[in-house]
Chains A and B, each alone.
Chain A
Amino acid sequence: MQFFYDMADNPFLGMGLLAGILASLACGVMGPIVIARRIVFLSGAIAHMAVGGIGAAIFLAGVYPQTWGWVQPLHGAVVSALFAAVLIGVVHNRVAERIDTLVGALWAVGMATGILLIKYTPGYQTELMGYLFGNIVFVTREEVVMMLVVNALIVVTMLTFYKRILAICLDQQQAQLQGVNVVWTNIVLLSLVALTVICLIQVVGLILVIALLTLPAATAAHHVSRMAPMMIASTVLCVVLTTVPRVAVYGTQISPESAIVLAAGSVYLLSVVYRRVLAR
């Protein structure tokens, strides 16, 4: 309860809560697609590519403050994640069987680039830790605005392309026969995943992104059997998971990001057990 008393004095608490809710919509809608398309590993690669972008942005702003001073780490993250999404989308179409190799390479190279660039940036850089492990306590207004934009993009895309997206999840070949441009739809989808990953990085950090992208959707999949209800269920679950644990551990030593992920994992586990018991 202390959390809500303090919220009046500390606007960052409310901002963090808002960020959690906004990220929940993005990941609640995209999570079921990530699971259905089996692109969890791909999303991980996109997240780690974002580190490369974050590193590049910090490096540019630190070394060339006159020309690149305006660049925020977030900008770098968005650019590199979108680049990774488009690259994977194009290569997936050309040589589907090699996609594992590319994803692994992007994963490692993105991370290494980021770490290297930050190391060579003058001054003491603490920001990277925030991106790796999340920083829900300190979310800026700009970041909240970006999340709003991402959510709007996701909602608009779903309202216009939902049938095509469901179709390529179910049966890519049939979608193509029905006149869907599979390559472009895939690229759009991966770009939305990239933007969702960026939103989630704010909330739980990129190492834990995969947890929020998959666990609520996988939990919802235990209880509903169609895509659209699954999106709604996992959005609701995400909202609960990003707010309740965070408020619960407020004022303790436990980091809110870890609490969120552990809660997501526990709920998933409970759901698995519940299903097993029901099946008997």
Chain B
Amino acid sequence: MSTVDPIVKLTDVTFGYPSIGLTAPVLEDVSLEVVPDDFLGIVGPNGGGKTTLLKIILGLLVPQRGTVKVFGTSACRVCSRIGYVPQHAEIDSSVPANVLDVVLMGRLGRSLWGPRYGRKHVEVAMEALERTGTQDLARRPIGTLSGGQRQRVLIARALAGDAGLLLLDEPTSGVDAHMEHGLIDLLRELNASLPIVMISHDISFVSSCLKRVACLNRTLTIHAADEVSDATVAEMYHGHVRAVQHDDSCAHSGADRPKGGKGSA
């Protein structure tokens, strides 16, 4: 792993929100490397610092201690090359805009001036919609989409920015089970050419198709996906979890996952 330059490299990152400060840090001495073909899941209890960690990688938050390198430089200089799919509540669906308008936001950093996006940008956005299988939705108002369609559109927006790294925050919340499987397949496809870091509280989803799992509860521990057991999960949640044994046959190959890959005990 040391032969390739990491896409993301966090070293001893400690962060506390200004109102509380370092007396009760959200993250403490977190070190993490994301390599080019990574598919890293981040699990952990609410308040464990998962979203905070993503925002630090994005450069939206600056840690009090430690260093953050993304694509070998400081995060804020390359953040338009990071595709970020936020939790579903963060996009205002009452704003009058259609799907293409939303996806074109991924091109905004390259086309800040003027009233409209050029033809080339629209083409790139349409390609991104095609990659996520949502090209038919391009003219639909963003407020009329289902949870699953919305996630795909937000992934398309991330891709439209020529992302070299995909960060997803709870991509399966608000998505029904059927759509969820499609979403997992899509992410696995994208992972062929793109490193992915994904937050999930859905432990079954996480262990069923990731390469590595990071357990985050203020401090961070990394496991290979197949070594995440009930014991690791219980330890992280302080024993208050009853987990189901999962099928992890797709954890490494990423192919030939048996149908209905989660939750068969």
Which residues of A are interface residues toward B (Cβ below 8 A)? Answer: 32, 36, 158-160, 162-164, 166-167, 169-171, 173-180, 221, 224-228, 230
One of A160, A162, A174, A225 near B84 (C-beta < 8 A): A174
Proximity string of chain B (110-145) to chain A, C-beta cutoff 8 Å, 1 when within and 0 when not: 011111110000000000000000000000011000
B86 and A170 contact, CB distance less than 8 A: no
One of A162, A174, A224 near B157 (C-beta < 8 A): A174
Not counting A32-B96, A166-B95, A226-B141, a sample of 6 additional A-B residue pairs whose C-beta atoms are within 8 angstroms of each other reads A163-B115, A171-B105, A177-B84, A177-B109, A178-B108, A226-B96
B95 and A163 contact, CB distance less than 8 A: no
Whole-angstrom CA separation of A159 from B84 in the bound complex? 28
B98 and A225 contact, CB distance less than 8 A: yes
Asked if B82 lies at the interface with its beta carbon under 8 angstroms from chain A, I say yes
Q: Which bucket holds chain B's interface residue count?
A: 20 to 34
Whole-angstrom CA separation of A230 from B98 in the bound complex? 12
A224 and B96 contact, CB distance less than 8 A: yes
Closest 3 CB pairs of A and B: A178-B109, A178-B108, A225-B141
Q: Which of A162, A164, A169, A226 has the most CB of B within 10 A?
A: A226
A180 and B86 contact, CB distance less than 8 A: no
- Within the complex, the shortest CB–CB distance from B89 to chain A, in Å, comes to 11
One of A162, A170, A230 near B91 (C-beta < 8 A): A170
A162 and B116 contact, CB distance less than 8 A: yes
- 12 A-B pairs within 8 Å (CB atoms) are namely A160-B115, A163-B104, A164-B108, A170-B92, A170-B101, A171-B102, A174-B86, A176-B60, A177-B80, A178-B161, A224-B96, A228-B115
Given A36-B92, A171-B86, A171-B91: A226 and B97 interface contact (C-beta under 8 Å): yes
CB interface residues, B 74-94, toward A, < 8 Å: 79-80, 82, 84, 86, 90-92, 94
Given A163-B117, A164-B112, A227-B96: A179 and B90 interface contact (C-beta under 8 Å): no
- Within the complex, the shortest CB–CB distance from A38 to chain B, in Å, comes to 8
Asked if B43 lies at the interface with its beta carbon under 8 angstroms from chain A, I say no
Given A36-B94, A170-B95, A226-B96: A175 and B114 interface contact (C-beta under 8 Å): no
Within 8 Å CB of B113, what residues of A? 160, 163
One of A158, A171, A177, A179 near B115 (C-beta < 8 A): A158
B105 and A221 contact, CB distance less than 8 A: no
Q: Who on chain A is nearest to B82 by CB? A: A177
Given A36-B92, A179-B80, A179-B109: A166 and B157 interface contact (C-beta under 8 Å): no
B112 and A179 contact, CB distance less than 8 A: yes
B112 and A180 contact, CB distance less than 8 A: yes
Asked if B199 lies at the interface with its beta carbon under 8 angstroms from chain A, I say no
A167 and B108 contact, CB distance less than 8 A: yes
- Within the complex, the shortest CB–CB distance from A226 to chain B, in Å, comes to 5
Within 8 Å CB of A159, what residues of B? 114-115
- Within the complex, the shortest CB–CB distance from B118 to chain A, in Å, comes to 11
Q: A-side binding surface: helix, strand, loop or mixed?
A: helix
- Within the complex, the shortest CB–CB distance from B149 to chain A, in Å, comes to 16
Asked if B53 lies at the interface with its beta carbon under 8 angstroms from chain A, I say no
B90 and A173 contact, CB distance less than 8 A: yes
Whole-angstrom CA separation of A230 from B91 in the bound complex? 20
A178 and B60 contact, CB distance less than 8 A: no
Within 8 Å CB of B141, what residues of A? 225-226
Within 8 Å CB of B98, what residues of A? 225-226
B112 and A163 contact, CB distance less than 8 A: yes
Whole-angstrom CA separation of A136 from B105 in the bound complex? 41
Q: Which of A32, A160, A174, A225 has the most CB of B within 10 A?
A: A174
One of A158, A160, A230 near B96 (C-beta < 8 A): A230
Whole-angstrom CA separation of A180 from B90 in the bound complex? 17
Asked if B209 lies at the interface with its beta carbon under 8 angstroms from chain A, I say no
Within 8 Å CB of B79, what residues of A? 177, 179
Whole-angstrom CA separation of A170 from B106 in the bound complex? 12
A36 and B84 contact, CB distance less than 8 A: no
Whole-angstrom CA separation of A227 from B161 in the bound complex? 22
- Within the complex, the shortest CB–CB distance from A220 to chain B, in Å, comes to 9
Whole-angstrom CA separation of A178 from B142 in the bound complex? 20
A177 and B114 contact, CB distance less than 8 A: no
Whole-angstrom CA separation of A125 from B190 in the bound complex? 70
B101 and A177 contact, CB distance less than 8 A: no
Within 8 Å CB of A162, what residues of B? 114-116
One of B91, B95, B114 near A227 (C-beta < 8 A): B95
A169 and B84 contact, CB distance less than 8 A: no
Q: Which of B105, B111, B112 has the most CB of A within 10 A?
A: B105
B95 and A36 contact, CB distance less than 8 A: yes
Q: Who on chain B is nearest to A227 by CB? A: B96
